Amino acid sequence: MREQPEAPLEKPEEGKRAKIPEDHHWHSRSYTLGAISSFLSTFVTFPIYKVVFRQQIHAVSVPEAVSQLHQEGLHRFYRGIYPPLLAKTLQGTLLFGTYDNLLQALSPTGPSRLWQRWVAGFLSGAMEAVVLTPFERVQNVLQDGRKDARFPSTSSILREFNSYGFWERLALGYYQGFLLVLLRNSLGSALYFSFKDPIRDSLAEQGLPCWVPALVSGSVNGTLTCLLLYPLSVLVANMQSQSFPLPLSSNHYQPRSLS
């Protein structure tokens, strides 16, 4: 499941960015802040995410999902964290950095408009999907407890994928479910970035402490966007955690079910 990005450390307002387009340090700073915030938020929220994933895959209640993880033991609690930790760090770097640079290109001389934020968010989400779908695919297989025996580690999954022919390696391996991921990430990023800054600016006018508008706008907007696209996340999780067929050759294959 791919969650909407957590609100990064507050960056300069769009108006300030427009006034100093020659400041290249500001653009690199957006990549750095996106990476740091995504790394920390992923590590802290991974247990919650794993419970949600078990609910999606096994269709169980929260207590039952927690019970499953408890029975597996503490040594398996963080199984599968490395793909999302790396992926989310890359996600924050790509998403926020690419969005800022695209928005700068679309609106170089003044405050951005809604359609400019939408386009920049949509394109940055699409790039994110292209780069990060393989990480999400491996992560979803690792976190499905039914696959423990067949795929005890990340390397075992990679060996399976790499045994396929080229096109099967992409379509059935690393990029299974790609169209759904592309739709979810593009729409999610477009919605998130379109309304995050307007909400922040509206709250800032209320005289609140400087950190409150950024925190509230990022959290509320990210949560609402995640809820809106949650059905797509469920579809992605189920599609990517499925057992995959083993090709007979590089040109054709047949399904193989788990016993």
Give pLDDT tens digits for 177-206: 999 999 999 999 999 999 988 998 888 888
Q: What is the pLDDT of residue 243?
A: 60
Residue intervals of the chain classified under CATH 1.50.40.10 are 83-241
Most confident of 39-43, 94-98, 101-105, 248-252: 101-105
CATH of 83-241, one of 3.40.50.1820, 1.10.10.10, 3.40.50.300, 1.50.40.10: 1.50.40.10
Sign of CA dihedral 210, 221, 191, 62: positive
Average pLDDT over residues 29-46: 76
Res 125 pLDDT > 90: yes
Higher-confidence residue of 197 and 42: namely 197
Average pLDDT over residues 121-132: 94
Return d(Cα 107, Cα 152) in angstroms, integer.
Answer: 48
